[in-house]
Structures are given as C-alpha cells and as structure tokens.
Structure 1
Amino acid sequence: MALSLVHKAQVWLFTALTAVLCALLQLFSSRKPGVSGKKLPAVGDPLLLQSATQLARKIRRKEVSSVEVVQAYIDRIQEVNPLVNAVVKDRFAAALQEAAQVDKLIEEETGGEEVLEDRLPLLGVPLSVKESFSLQGMPFTTGSIARRHVVATVDAPPVALLKRAGAIPLGVTNTSELCMWMESHNHLHGITNNPYDLERIPGGSSGGEGSILGAAGAVIGVGSDIGGSIRIPCFFNGVFGHKTTPGVVSCDNQYPPFSDRQHEYLSTGPMCRYAEDLLPMLKIMAGPNAHKLSLNTEVDLTKLRFFTVPHDGGSPLTSPLSKELLDIQRKVVERLEADLGVKVQKVHFPELRYSFQIWETYMGLPDKEGNPPPSFTELLGKPGPPVWPLWELLKWMLGKSKHTMAAIGLTLLEMTHISKPSNLIFQRKEKLQKEMEDLLGTDGVLLYPSHTRVAPKHHHILLRPFDFVYTGILNILGLPVTQCPLGLGGEGLPLGVQVVAGKLQDHLTLAMALYLEKTFGGWRDPGAN
C-alpha cells in the first residue's frame, strides 16, 4: 500500500531539507584537513594480528607479557588515531599499571593455567569501550557539548564484567551526537574516519569502536545497537559485531536514556576483529543470563536450515542495493551449498518494504505507564531547555551551532512528525514477526544485507537517511544478528552480510561467523591494501 499523504509529506520535507543541507556542506565541510590522499600504515607488530583468545592464552602461559601486549596496542593507537580520530580519551598510564599487575599475578599463581582461564578468561587483554557506556573515571559525554564535563563514576555492567574477566580498557571511542546517527561526528570530539578510506564514514553510533578495531588499534570492544549501531560500523570497517537477543546483556549505565519500550529493541554486544572472540565475550557480557543462550552447545552447520533474503523488496525510502553486495551474498549462498551440502532457500517478506515505518512507529510508542519516549529535542538541550530546531538550523548556517547537521535534521524531522501510529503498521509488524519466527525456529539461519552499499563518503549519508533500516528492522523483531565481514570490494572497502537466527539462538549466528571468517578471510589489514 502507498505511504499516507502525511508520511509522504514528512519524507519529502526531510529529503528536500537534506539535499539542500548537503549542498551547503560542500561549502562548510568539516572534513579534517590533511586527510585526503593519506592511508593507514600496515600493521607491523605480530601481536596485533592475534585474537583476544590467543593473546589471553599466551599471556597465561607467559609466552608474552600483558605489558608487551598493552604497549603494542598503545603504540598502534598512537600511530593511527591522528588519522582516524576514533579514541577520544585514553587511559594508557593506568592500563600499563594494570598490565604490570596482571603479569605479577601470573608469576605468583600456583593453580596453573586452567585455573586462570576459568576465573579470568581475558586476563591481560586490551579492550576499547564506546564512550556512551559508563567507564569509571572516563568521559561520559556521548558527544554532547552540554555534557563535556561529565565523568563516569561507575562501570556499565557489561564493561564491569569484561574487566572482572581480566580485560584492560585502553580508552573510550567516538560516537555520533547522542548516538542518534550513522556518522560518528560531534562538535565535542570531532569526526571519525574509516580506516580503509579516510574520506569515508565509519558508521554510527559505535563508529569509533568500529574504526579503531578496523585500524588494528583494538582487538575487542563494546558497542550498543538500537537501529544498527553495532552492525553498521562493523560492516563499514570490516570487523565482526553481534546484536544479542534483547534482555540478555544489561543495557544499564548508558547515555542517552531509553524508555522501557525502547529497551525491548536495544542490545549491547561484542565487537571484535576475530570471530572466535565473539562467543567468549558474549558469555562474559551476559553474566547471569548467559545460560539462556545455549552458548556451550556445539553447532553442526550441516544440520541447519538456510535462507537468504537479497533485499527489502524495493522500499521507496531506501536506496537500491548495490550490485557488489548482491553478488557477495550470492557467493555466500554458493559456498554454503558447495561446502556444507545444504540447500539455501531464497525467501521474500513483503513487509520488509515497510521497515522504516515499522521501526519509526515502534521506537515512538509510549512505555507501559503511557509515557512517551525521551524527545531528541529535549535530550539535545540537556541539562538546559530543549533546543529550537529552526533556530539551531539558522545558527548552523552561520557556523555558530554546537550541534551537527545530522542532529539538527533529526530535530526538524521530529518537529514535523504529526501522524499517529497506524493499525496497518502494527499488523504488518506482527505478520512479519510471525512469519520470520516460524521460518527460523530453533535451527534456521537467514542471510540479509547489512546496508545498501559500502561505506559512503563523509556527510553523504544525509542523502540516504533511511538506509539504516536494513539493520533497524531486526531490532524491532528482537532477533539475534551477527555482522560478518566478507573481504573487500572493488573500491577496497569492506563487504559483509548479516546472519540472523531465532530468538535466543545466538549460538547459531556465532558459529556461522566462524565459518564465514574461514571461508572469506575475515578482517583485512587496511594498511596492506
């Protein structure tokens, strides 16, 4: 069915607005000077080319010290961060002290390697953390100038669990302004670049995490995802990321706050360069809920049922899927059938054409007490009064606004949003939910594109504001998804695919990540290309 006239007007207004603003951006570009034509240096230290699981094993066996590993990552961050601007605040001195304590603990341990592995599975391994998570003693601003003096006093639960498992945080990484956009850019910490092409975006809102992982400045990291904020950066930066089944990993002590209803769609999960780190990280981050996910169950891929959905069916709001992403997903299907002897069934869900309307409707629903979700206009002004969208637009045009164009655009869209939820949208969502859950069951795996195209150039995403719904619709459905890299495309930029399973079947997509890494090569050094 066609879009409602009101919704058409909203889409037209926002599209027209972003087109004009993108033209202005050509005049007022905030791209970092001196980046054009530069590329990252290749990885030189072999310690940077090992998974967290391998590093932890070597540290426990005293084959390498934690200090050596931490120092190797510090050196790499210092080498690449001036180019990618991913780490916005480091804690290098504290990390080296903690690494020295780890080495001392290992020297004094009398219980043997197995005891350490059981108690401290990530002992001595460096970790990066998205700055929207509370990490004690570190900035907790989420890219908001109004929060520039906020420092975290506690650790967010998944961060605390990773630290308790022995991981050593090296710093916090950049986000989009208040985590509400696909480009990690704000006027407090600046703009983050993609390690494969510094003139392109790393995605958002976990873009700093994706960028520093892709640049080999981190091996494991923590991200959050309510519309693709783990998966889009992992796709653009050629690394692995997992959107967990909601409610398994705690989402407490993050900013901005979300309503009770929105917590049903928000997931905290692991981001990493190597697939074998996904499962142990998820076990740790899930804490007391880990038993819900059957993570100790071995997966025989030949016994699974496989499905592929090549695109959303042609939504008028999203860009057509690029040929290279269609081709790479087809190659995954061909390899699965050749390697495993399975049949991958091509399926189609007509309701996917309405992904944006479904995502937008459900994100805006009131909570159980009838309270509406936090207004972005209010959040942007906190701790002061709400911003005035048109006033901020005028200030931006004069170079005086404290906010990015993306944030201002979202307030303008919010201001024009006058339609009420449609029963038809609820029906479409429920139909899609039932059909997808019935199809996947407990042994089904589905392939779906991660985005419509590879990482775009800075600010160009403003012209395609709805393409995120390739990931966002899966948040509303509450399904676990692993984003898997699939090598590099013709422009030297990462390709990838989403692997989806039924609720609480996270172990199936994690097993697929291992297979796809082995088959397609996983992460590639951006400096070697």
Structure 2
Amino acid sequence: MCTPRVKTKKSSTRCKKFISLLLKVFVFVRIYVDKLIDFLFGCYYKSRVQIVPKPTNSLVIEDATTLAKQIREQKLTSEHVTRACIDRIKQVNSMINAVVDDRFEDAIAEAKSIDERIKNNKISQDEFETKPFLGVPFTTKETSQCKGMRSTFGLLCRKEKRAEEDAQVVHLLKNAGGILIGLTNVPILNMWSETDNQVYGRTNNPYNSTRTVGGSSGGEAAIIAACGVPFGIGTDIGGSVRIPAFSCGIFGHKPTGELISTKGLTYRTGQEPSTIMSVGTLTRTSRDIIPFLKVLLDKNVNKLQLDKKVNVKDLQIYYMLDNGDPKISALGKEMRALILRVVKHFETNLNASPKKLNLPDMKHGLELWRYWITQEANVNFARDLTDRKGQVNPIVEVFKFLLRCSEYNIGAIIYLVGTFLPVKNEKWARDLRKQLMDALIAALGNNGVLVCPSAPWSARYHNTSALQPYNLGYFAVWNMFKFPATQVPLGLDSEGLPVGVQVVAAPYQDHLCIAVAKELEESFGGFVPPFSS
C-alpha cells in the first residue's frame, strides 16, 4: 500500500533558505539599480542646477512666533513683514514655481488694517491671546479651498474653478490673525510624491532646482524653505507633510489622526466617518509647531497635552534602521550614519539607553497602507480625475500618456494604475494592523519615542520617484496607524541637500515627538537655509 509523501522539515528549511537567498540577491541588485538611476539622471540634469539667492531683507528668515511677538510689541509692522514676504516670493518663484495663486494686494490691505488697530490700542490683551499669529503671512496648498482663489487640484478639467469658501483650517488660521498671501503647488489630487501637474507645472527644490520637493505639500515646503513665508498648512495621507519637509529641510508635524477638521480639503466635507489623512504644520523651527497646532486643533486642543513639560532625559528612546521590506530602497550610508548619530547623542549627552525596535511584520507596512487608503470614504481616484463627472479607464489613459495626449502626468498615471491592482484581504489587513499597533503602543506607551528613517537618501532628481515608488513606505505606515510623527531637519548631506529623521510617538503623545524635535534642533542645528548666510 502506497502512502503519500509528506514534506519533510528539512525540505521546508531548504525552501526558506532559498527564498532568503533570493531576497538577498534582489536587495543587492536593487542597490546597484538605484545607483544607476541616480547616475543617469545626474548626467541629464548636471548643467541645470540653480539655488535660490540670499534674500535682500533678512526679516524673512524669522519664524512665525518671533514675528507675531514683534508685531504685537510694535517693533515691526505687519505691512513691513507682509511686503518683505511678497518681495521674497517674487524673487524666488520664477526658479522654484512654488506659489501658483496670490492675493498680495488684499494681504497688504489687511496688514495695514492690523497695524492701524495695534497703533490705536484697539486690540485688547484677550484678543492678542486668541490671535497668536496676528499680522503674520502664511500660505497653504492649492487643494485647501480659499474663498475666491483658484481651486484646480492640479486638474486641467478644473482650471477655471475658484473656491466658494475657506477650508476650516484656513478659516481657523485667519481667525488666529494669520494673513493668507498665496496658494502653493501640489501633485494632481495630492496623490504623488513629486509636486507636478499639467496646470501649473513642476516645483523645484530651493537647494538644487534639479531635485524634487516631494509631495503633496511640495510647493508649501519649498516656499517656506526659500523664506517666502514663515509657516504654512499642509495635509498628509501618506507622507504629504513629512516628505516635502524632509526634501526641503524644514519641520513637518503630522498629528494624531482625526483631531483636525478636513472640511474644504479637496473634495472632503469634514463629515467622513474615518480617515487616515491629517492636516499638519510646516515650519522652519520647532518653536512654531505647538502654537500653530493649537490653532488647527480648535476644540480638540485638550485631547493633546501640548503644554505638558517633557524632560527628554526621562524618555525611552527606540530606533529603527529599516522595516525589512525588500521593495523599499535600502538606507544609504549617510542616512544610516545620521540615525546612528542621533542614537549616539541620546546615549552620550542624555544618558539614555536607546533600544533597537524589531518588528518583522513592519515589512508589510506599505501593503497595509494600500488597504487602508481603499477604505477612505467617498474617495475614488479614477472618478476624481474627471472632477467627478465620469471615470477614467486606466488602460486607455496609459496609452494616451504614451502617445503624449493625456491630461495627466506620470505620477497620476502610476497612482491610477495602482488603484486597480489587488490589495490584501480585509481580515489580514485589520488583524495585522491591530497586532502591530498593539506592539508599538506597548513599547512606546506614554513615555517613549521612535526615531526612524525618513528616506534612503536626500531629495533625488525629478521623476526618479516613478522608478522608486515603494519608498513612500518610509512615511505612509504612520498614516495607517494614525500615530503622530514629526519630521526633523538635521542639516545638509555631502551634496548640500537637507537630511533628517522622523520622530514617532503613540497616539495623543504629540508633545513627546515635538519635545524630541526641539532637543535635536538645539543639538544638530535644525533648518539650514538653502543660501549662504
């Protein structure tokens, strides 16, 4: 009598070793493919480098909190500050293409009115307290609706659209005294990691015009880094605040999920039952994050502990060098060394004992994010590309793109095709997300932070993201968990481009991320302007 052969433990072990070997070969080859991509694009862009010039008025380098204080104390006028920012935008925008619509004359009129009220003592102390950014100019993404201003979302089919009212977060910042002076460039519908569209064109990095500014808040980060405005509002569904903040060397904070209104952001009403998108802050200094965040949180401000004092020496520090996903480019030498420098700083200067966090299933982070983005209420990329007047066919659009007759660029085409690819099943995604969240919350608790990579390298050449789309995984995983994360600039690399790290905490522990950001800013220098001082 014959009996079926049973797979032996030995053959199973051999199979695992073979798969492990294949992965190692893949990673090895991937490293050299990435180097080849960088080399070839570098050859193409070699003679096209531009860097933004030094500002003629040093006032534009100041942070929002300092400017607001000086305006309150009548050491500066809002008009002076506003005109300085407008002049700076005009000086740099032809090179970086960050600001795509403006209201300069109206902003100057508003600034004059504020100055007149302050001069005549018509603003009470209570009003000053409710308007912490009185007289300070800001910008926001073109996808954040601003009454009377352009609202194309980067779509040709919306090129004549103008917003009928302000997004809630814009309304809140205006109520806090901020003066809106312009709107900034975005990828189509915010859904790509490079800021480019057929309506406004591409935004260039202030440190090197051949490099990306990231996306989707790329125009916003670029104009802040170029010192056109001191701060601005961003949104983040897969790194859209933190990727541009990293690429442009500024601070970007994505708060704990679902605390800030999304009303008036692209097609959102603010009534959606759940979302992995967050409104976030973009600033040149960590000092501005908390007062700015308080404004945007509005009635939810008490759900965070932003005024709680944090002794960084008492924190448990964790770090991560990679998440084990072979599809994501491995950390380059400089980025790896940067993380280890941060770890060493905590060991040497703060007597901390940083621990390496090992969660093997984090390698599925990007797959989990892809599942959760399909759960976004009332979001359909193929339909939204038509301004909700139909639905595009991805196969047709690929052919139209190849024939150079598509209304959409390569980023939109890649994302469109990706939305039709299969995602992991619901049970797997929900179970693994809960398992990972539980493990992370158990480790971080209410007194721990995780220092992790932002990207494998500094901002790369334009369009290389189309060949390395999975690198989004460094950022997107924290949206899927709805954890707070702060992008912290830590100087420039050997190419003169910004580098930095992400600092992550458990939900509602935003104050820990921000406290560590302040510590690192003080120790490593924080924002470094793209121009020589």
| TM-score when normalising by structure 1 | 0.90
Is 1:449 the counterpart of 2:453? The answer is yes
Residue 261 of structure 1 contacts residue 365 of structure 1 at CA under 8 Å; is this kept in 2?
Answer: no
Q: In structure 2, what is the equivalent of residue 432 of structure 1?
A: 436
Per-residue CA deviations over 1:419-460 (Å, capped at 9, x if unaligned) read 551533333222111000111111111101112221110100
* Aligned partners of 1:178 and 1:256 also within 8 Å: no
User: Which amino acid counterpart does residue 141 of structure 1 have in structure 2?
Assistant: T
**Does the CA contact (< 8 Å) of 1:35 and 1:83 recur in 2?**
no
The 1-side partners of 2:426 and 2:132 are apart by: 49
1:400 match? 405
The equivalent position to 1:468 in structure 2, one of 452, 466, 472, is 472
1:88 offset after TM fit, Å? 0.4
Given the alignment of the two structures, is residue 390 of structure 1 paired with residue 390 of structure 2, yes or no? no
Confirm whether residue 85 of structure 1 aligns to residue 97 of structure 2: yes
Letter in 2 for 1:60: R
- Aligned counterpart for 2:235 among listed residues 224, 234, 237: 224
Q: Deviations over 1:308-340 (max 9, x none)?
A: 111112x12111111111111111111122222
Given candidates 193, 197, 200, the residue that maps to 2:211 is 200
- Secondary structure at the aligned position of 1:307 is classed as strand
1:206 counterpart letter in structure 2: S
How far is 1:110 from its partner? Answer: 5.5
Q: 1:102 aligns with which of 93, 114, 120?
A: 114
Among residues 58, 65, 73, which one is paired with 2:77 in the alignment? 65
How far off is 1:104 after superposition?
Answer: 0.6
Q: Which amino acid aligns with 1:512?
A: V
2:193 equivalent to 1:189: no
SS of aligned partner of 1:468: helix
* Larger displacement relative to structure 2 (149-158 or 217-226): 149-158
Change (3 A) 1:160 1:420: same
| Alpha-carbon contact 1:262-1:363 (below 8 Å) kept | no
Work out whether residues 117 and 123 of structure 2, in 8 Å CA contact, stay in contact via their aligned partners in 1: no
Residues 106-151 of structure 1: per-residue CA shift (max 9 Å, x gap): 0122566x44531311010010101111111111121111111211
Whole-Å separation in 1 of the counterparts to 2:130 and 2:419: 48
Alignment partner, residue 510 of structure 2: 506
**Cα deviation, residue 35, structure 1:** 8.6
Does the CA contact (< 8 Å) of 1:245 and 1:479 recur in 2? yes
Unaligned runs of 5+ in 1: 3-7, 9-14, 368-372
2:309 to 291, 298, 320: 298
| Inter-CA distance 309–420: structure 2 relative to 1 (3 Å threshold) | closer
Rg larger in structure: 2
SS of aligned partner of 1:436: helix
Distance of aligned partners of 1:418 and 1:246 in 2 relative to their CA distance in 1, 3 Å threshold: closer
> Contact between 1:258 and 1:374, CA under 8 Å: does it hold in 2?
no
2:347 to 337, 342, 351: 337
CA drift of 1:275 comes to 1.1
Distance 1:414 1:119, change over 3 A: closer
Q: CA deviation at 1:166?
A: 0.5
Q: Summarize deviations over 1:193-225 as a string: whole Å, max 9, x none.
A: 111110111000111111111111111000000
Which residue number corresponds to residue 266 of structure 1?
277
Separation (CA, whole Å) in 1 of partners of 2:273 and 2:399:
32
Q: Is residue 321 of structure 2 the alignment partner of residue 321 of structure 1?
A: no
1:374 aligns with 2:379: yes
| SS in structure 1 at match of 2:239 | coil
**Within 1, Cα distance between the matches of 2:214 and 2:96?**
12
Q: Distance in 2 between matches of 1:471 and 1:159?
A: 25
| Correspondence 1:245-264 to 2 at 5 A | 245-257=256-268, 263-264=274-275
- Amino acid aligned to 1:356: L
TM-superposed deviation, 1:393: 2.1
Deviations 1:148-183 (A, max 9, x none): 121111111111111001000110000001111000
Answer whether contact 2:206 2:530 (CA < 8 A) is retained.
yes
The answer to whether the Cα contact below 8 Å between 1:480 and 1:501 also exists between their aligned partners in 2 is yes
In 2: Cα distance, 1:116 partner to 1:493 partner: 41
Q: Which runs of 5+ in 2 are unaligned?
A: 1-14, 17-22, 24-29
Q: Distance in 1 between matches of 2:480 and 2:365?
A: 9
Q: Secondary structure at the match of 1:518?
A: helix
**Secondary structure, in 3 states, of the residue corresponding to 1:227?**
coil
Sort the Cα spacing of 1:317 and 1:154 in 2 relative to 1 into closer, same or farther, 3 A. same
Q: Report the Cα distance in structure 2 between the residues aligned to 1:96 and 1:382, rounded to whole angstroms.
A: 34
Matched residue pairs, number? 501
Per-residue Cα deviation, 1:375-401 (whole angstroms, up to 9, x for no partner): 211111224321122222222223221
* Shift in CA distance, 260/321, structure 1 to aligned 2, threshold 3 Å: farther
Counterpart of 1:431 in 2: which secondary structure? helix
Equivalent residue for 1:138, pick from 149, 156, 160: 149
Answering whether residue 434 of structure 2 is matched by residue 423 of structure 1, we say no
The residue aligned with 2:498 is 494
The one-letter code sitting in structure 2 at the alignment partner of 1:324 is E
Question: CA, structure 1 residues 349+420, in 2 after alignment: closer, same or farther (shift >3 Å)?
Answer: closer
* Structure 1 contact 180–407 (Cα < 8 Å) conserved: yes
RMSD: 2.6
User: Within 1, Cα distance between the matches of 2:154 and 2:407?
Assistant: 11
1:404 counterpart letter in structure 2: N
Q: Tell which deviates more after alignment, 422-431 or 93-102.
A: 422-431
Cα distance in 2 for partners of 1:120, 1:257 equals: 27
After superposing the two structures, state which structure 1 stretch, 475-484 or 406-415, moved more.
Answer: 406-415
CA distance in 2, matches of 1:326, 1:339: 20
Could you state the TM-score of these two structures normalised by the residue count of structure 2? 0.89
1:146–1:383 contact (8 Å) kept in structure 2: no
Q: CA deviation at 1:102?
A: 0.8
2:297 aligned residue (258, 264, 286)? 286
- Select which of 172, 187, 191 maps to 1:180: 191
Conserved in 2, the CA contact under 8 Å of 1:246 and 1:478? yes
CA distance in 2, matches of 1:391, 1:489: 42
Q: Give the partner amino acid of 2:368.
A: I
Amino acid at match of 1:355: G
- Alignment partner of 1:47 is 2:52: no
